[in-house]
Chains A and B, each alone.
Chain A
Amino acid sequence: MRTDRITFRSGPLIDMPLLLGIVLVATLGIVNLYSATSVYIDAGQRAGLADIYVSQVYWIVVGGLLAILAAAVDYRHLERLAYVLYLVGIVSLLTVLVLGADIRGSSRWIQLGGFTFQPSEFMKIFLILVIAKHLHNDPKTEPRTLLDLAPPIGLAALPTALVMMQPDLGTSIVYLLTAASILAMTKIRRRSLMWLALVGGVGVPFAYKYLLHDYQRARITSFLDPEGDKTGAGWHAFQSKTAIGNGQIWGEGFMQGTQNQFGFLPDQHSDFPFAVFAEDWGFVGGVVLIATYAFLCVWAVNVAAQAKDRFGAALAIGVGALVFWHTIANMGMALGLLPVVGITLPLFSYGGSSVVTILVSLGLLMNVSMRR
């Protein structure tokens, strides 16, 4: 009896609010994917999508199991594996570049048995782990200098460059923003900060001019001048805004959003699930969803604040940042606030690798939360 009680007390406690938040988002995501793809009009090219919500459920189950695994094993064991995992990630990214399957003009996938998967997605977790590990091993009381920041920046830059070559602009932006968010926790010397700002200020236009492909530039110019292009990239943003606005307060109702059902939303299952959701459920649904994501992000900061070591804190912030930047970028794109770059909405966008990555990283957050 006594031992039982001790086990109960000292054993890891499940973070219920976090769990509920995850379950809520995942459930809404499935429901929304059903609305987005099980179209009742017979628009030819969409017929193939009719059943993808089922595979999404499978992926959530798989991701969920992996997340439980990720939450169960004490994260401090992962700390030791961080560099190894990072190396595995880099190698798989190189593999993709060499023999990746070419889908829609960019090679992102690796075929393994009957599955194709996207190493760049899993790399997100490995990147968080490796930067957390680096900070963990490098405690400082003095503000950090550029030299101190060089190694973690290098760790982030390598996979970013590899992903840019695929080319996958969205994922490379996510890498940079997530890594930057973790590093933002550290104290940095003011001079170094100014240097970083300067490099960023020069680097962005440079990257725009020399590193981006024409179609990527076109998305940005059409975002800056939406009237100039209502047929190409600007068209998608225009239809998405129309869909969201069409939701008004209460929404058109489940599976009733006309922009979605009549095929005016392109990539409604991957790039624009939020437009589908906001059209079906209106302002009320949209606010609930945004609030749930906001809760997850703020909760991750809370978990970090209570983490018992630097690795846990950095890991929690990394997961929070991952969810945060995905959500902001995807919703901002659907709302016409940001240019259209393919960044998924966590647990809403269709995609096995993406769903598993997000669930596993949320499992890691749970892990940190349970062991504070």
Chain B
Amino acid sequence: MITKDKGIIAIVAVVVLVAVLSVINSNTQKSEADNGKPLSIQSWQSEHGAKVMYVHAPQLPMVDIRLVFDAGSARDGKLPGLAMMTNAMLDLGAGEWSTDTIAERFDSVGAQFSNDSLKDMAIFSLRSLTEPDLLNEAITTLNTILVKPKFIESELQRTRQQVLINLRNQEQSMSTIASKTFYQALYPEHAYGSPVMGTVDSINAITRDDLIKFYKKYYVASNAVVAIVGDLDKAEAEEQVAQILKGLPEGEAAEKLLEAQPLNEAKRIHKAHPSSQTHVLIGQPGMKRGDEDYLALYVGNHILGGSGFGSRIVEEIREKRGLAYSSYSYFSPMRVNGPFILGLQTGNGNTQQALTILDEVLREFIDKGPTEEELQHARKNITGGFALKVDSNKDIIGYLGMIGFYNLPLDYLATFNERVEAITLEQIHDAFKRRINPDKLVTVTVGTK
């Protein structure tokens, strides 16, 4: 088999070495990667109407599976935290198995299972080896969690206590205080304003029946996307997806979310907190996934504050003045307009100066747009770095879940670079002028005045 290369010390051996190495390489390093070929995404409907997104990645004997339900906190209704609690309870007892047994079943086959709850999405992730005995056990466990959760009353009580501790933990985290305050101010009438983790009152109020009702309505095939990346051919992938979803009712897709309304006026909110720094978040509702201005805003923001060193915000805040370690801007596109955010943390005494600079930088950018040189630089950075965005199964499964969930075209990744190349200065300038109003921003500060 593979001969391990010896440590080679002398430089004079280069010529000989090259010959030796190339022999070894040709024998052992047969690349099966689809180098140069665009990522080929296939999609189909499962038997009961779930959308399946698939990429064949045969290089490693492993598979990543991600289930995404339209069952995030945007579906909480009158009980903030209901979506998160439902998501968290699914693997705490299902079918014949206790929480402990489920944990042992995943661990004993080397599988990694996790769940997560966001504003739009409820997510279940499984990573497993593809060796059939191991994979089948992991898939059976996943299927049972999905279709036969027991919502055991004692586990609900325990989870409730855990969440209450998490809520108290959030009260000692300045970044979380800032973020929760920011979303509430940005979306006063919209579900996005409600905290994913819920509130003390709502968490105490949630009953087992609430969980079951939520589960039955949203955890259905028509409301699901299954993404799968790994060493399974298409037939095998189809078979595994069928196993995962076996017994999941067809149901209905979640109702359309209300649009997020733009802000009527600027808001300034300060939360007092004993601290050495002040955390700053500024923004307003921005854009949605599939937005017609998506790329213009994305490329523009890259220049404004989305690309670290070299972006205007980092130059002005950090490089010229040393005011903050972290400063940035970004759009968080969601089902409906997610936030546009500018943020930083700075020593308490510098807060006003930092706020003034952020305001000036943003206004100037909206007023005049980027320069041709900045646009050229951004294009090169984004397109030149594309290969890095999809260089692992972990990256690809994330994209598949997102593309499937937001109904983006299957060639979203394949055409990404050419669409970025096509963005003009005028489009960026125009999009920022239309979409961002610097007179109607929410400004949240958390810290000691």
Q: Do A and B come from one complex?
A: no
Binding site for B on A (CB under 8 A): none
Interface of B with A (CB < 8 Å)? none
